[in-house]
Chains A and B, each alone.
Chain A
Amino acid sequence: MTSTEAGTTVSITRQPNAAAGRAAPKGRRRGPRRPPGLPWILPAFIFVVGFVYYCIGYTGYISTLNWDGVSPNPQHVGWANYVQLFHDPVFWDTIRHTVLFFVVTFTVQTAIGFTFAALLHSKVKLANLYKVIIFVPVVLAPATMAPIFRQIFSATGQFNTILGDIGLGSLEHPWLAQSSTALPVIMAITIWEWTGVTFILYFAAMTQIDKEIVEAARIDGANGLRVLTRIVWPSVRGTTIALAMLSVIGALKTFDVPYLVTLGGPNYATEFLGTFIYRVSIPQAEVGYGAALSIMLLILSLAGALAFGLRGMRRN
């Protein structure tokens, strides 16, 4: 699911263009009348909208039931599932984890990705090798990498070995077995997997910065750091906003890593909305409650996308 999100980042940076195209419908009056386009869009429209809205409607209906998913006559309970949700401490835990996860992963990915992009624009040797190393994690499925991360951060894993080797043996720790460190490990894994996207988008954005402005600033005596903070960073602001939106949606969608590495544990310490919905709906077969949680997740995703999407568009 994650790599599709990679794509979604850019949507926002492009929408203003689409909007601009709309504002000026050039050629519509001049040329011959255009053929009808409805038949062309209908296959995709019906497939996507029919599918998605059918599923959302169905989920909305199920969320008013007390149902195990198989019994022939589920019981209607109205808003009870939503009431239960607001009183469920685990639900609030997942929200807290999601917010924390978003803030940390977004900040760290932005810092690392931006720095990498700037460094790799500086005529360093072996640039492509570094690029490949940063980008390979994006291509690998989180599910494929999960077993090795479980191993690395286990009590006898390589991470503790390295800490021992560099003289930080006192920090050795069963990282995944302890509530306080399990969530940071999940964040670290996500950062490892996704910084490549942040990096590649910043790298692309930086190639579009006008070289003359950078040159002029340098002639005026600005050093590298100043150029970076005063010229480069403001110029890639569109990318940063797009990446923030990506991270919000990504944080809300988080499933693979916590499910496979810690199963949401220990003691719900790494439970996210995705893993919680899965746990409630499938192993616990409380389908109605799972559906209510799904609707909450949907509302939060839309709100997150809108908040950042609108900011991105107003800017333009």
Chain B
Amino acid sequence: MFETMRLRSKIILQVILTIMVLPFLFPLIAMVQESLAGQGWDNYKVVWDTGVVPQFFRNSAIIAAGVIIIVYCLTMLAAFGFSKLHIRGREIYFWMMLAALTLPEVVLLTPLFSTAIHLGLYNTYFAVMLPLAALQIPFAVLLTRNFVNGIPDELFDAARVDGANAVTIFWRIILPLTRPIAAAIVILTLIGAWNDYLLPLVFLQTPATQTITLLPSFFVSEFSDDQTKVVASAVITAIPEIIAYLCLQRLFERGLTAGALK
């Protein structure tokens, strides 16, 4: 925005930017510092030696993978149907789904709780996976439908003239062409599922099923509030997320701006 500028104003901008970014960096530095207070690296060793960290990670990974699979499959089918096939009253169906976008998770607590107990799903991955998927699908369908709208109809007409039915078109045209938006949806769903706290808090009661967002609370009771170890466990959970982001930076940023950009 300010491209033609003198050196002096360039330096001023750089300084302003650096000062503005410091508060964002500060908690991360404080976090690492705190995790090394007291016993230093031994904090990490003690946390790791409890052996539960990989278990929490595995649970988060299973839940996130499950949610991603459900969201991906149902979204692709629905986006194709909404965008390119004939549905009477399709906008009604569409808006009924979109209304779910505004739904706060906490509203679902009581019904989900009693339903999960009835169906024997309490303290299983499904109790978290299914509601998460249901809450993620509307937005994924919205994005994918818009994306599929951009694929020219002539492509489908030509395929149909050549004798392709809807299933073939879906496999041969939709799935390959929607890869960019699918990547954005996978990332969005991943962040949503991985960082969710409320559903695991209510539905997962033992370390065998609990996710990494519950790890700090687990260590608070484990180490009777020895903050340094709790924070060390938080650093351990944060590192893979930061690495994943750094490796897939463009994909993460695109996932969150998907729709704002074509």
Contacts and interface: CB of A to CB of B under 8 A. Distances in A.
A120 B242 CA distance: 21
Contact of B110 (A6, A112, A287): A287
A253 interface: yes
Given A3-B188, A54-B111, A38 B17 contact: no
Interface in A13-61: 13-15, 17-18, 21-22, 26-27, 30-41, 43-45, 47-49, 51-52, 54-56, 58-59
Interface stretch (B39-47, B119-127, B146-154): B146-154
Contacts of B100: 48-49, 52
Given A52-B134, A122-B2, A1 B23 contact: no
Interface string B68-87: 00100111011011101111
A305 interface: yes
Given A124-B17, A148-B27, A142 B2 contact: no
Contacts of A58: 110-111, 114-115
B54 to A, nearest CB: 16
Interface residues of A, number: 120
A33 B86 contact: yes
Contact of B154 (A9, A14, A27): A27
Interface in B220-254: 220, 227, 230-231, 234, 237-238, 241-242, 244-246, 249, 252-253
Contacts, number: 351
Given A8-B139, A255-B106, A239 B230 contact: no
Given A144-B216, A304-B102, A158 B252 contact: no
Contact of A119 (B16, B137, B196, B245): B16
Contact of A281 (B110, B166, B227): B110
A143 B219 CA distance: 13
Interface in B149-163: 149, 153-154, 156-157, 160-161
A241 interface: no
Chain A contact residues: helix, strand, loop or mixed: helix
A244 interface: no
A147 B231 contact: yes
Contact of B104 (A140, A232, A301): A301
B137 A4 contact: no
Contact of B107 (A9, A115, A239, A297): A297
A103 interface: no
Given A40-B78, A304-B102, A47 B160 contact: no
B63 interface: no
B160 A31 contact: yes
A140 B110 contact: no
A235 B20 CA distance: 24
A249 B102 contact: yes
A235 to B, nearest CB: 11
A286 to B, nearest CB: 11
Given A3-B188, A17-B146, A278-B106, A200 B3 contact: no
B237 A141 contact: yes
Interface in B78-105: 78, 80-82, 84-87, 90-91, 93, 96-105
A139 B245 CA distance: 7
Among B102, B115, B212, B214, find the residue whose CB has the most chain A CB atoms closer than 10 A.
B102
Given A139-B252, A256-B198, 9 more contacts: A4-B135, A34-B86, A59-B108, A120-B17, A122-B13, A148-B34, A158-B34, A192-B27, A273-B104
Interface of A: 1-4, 6-11, 13-15, 17-18, 21-22, 26-27, 30-41, 43-45, 47-49, 51-52, 54-56, 58-59, 62, 69, 112, 115-116, 118-125, 130, 132-149, 151-152, 158, 192, 195, 197, 200-201, 204-208, 214, 218, 224, 227-228, 232, 239, 242, 249, 252-253, 255-256, 260, 273-274, 277-278, 281-282, 287, 290-291, 294-295, 297-298, 301-302, 304-305
11 contacts: A1-B192, A11-B142, A31-B157, A32-B157, A43-B74, A62-B111, A135-B252, A148-B27, A148-B231, A255-B198, A282-B109
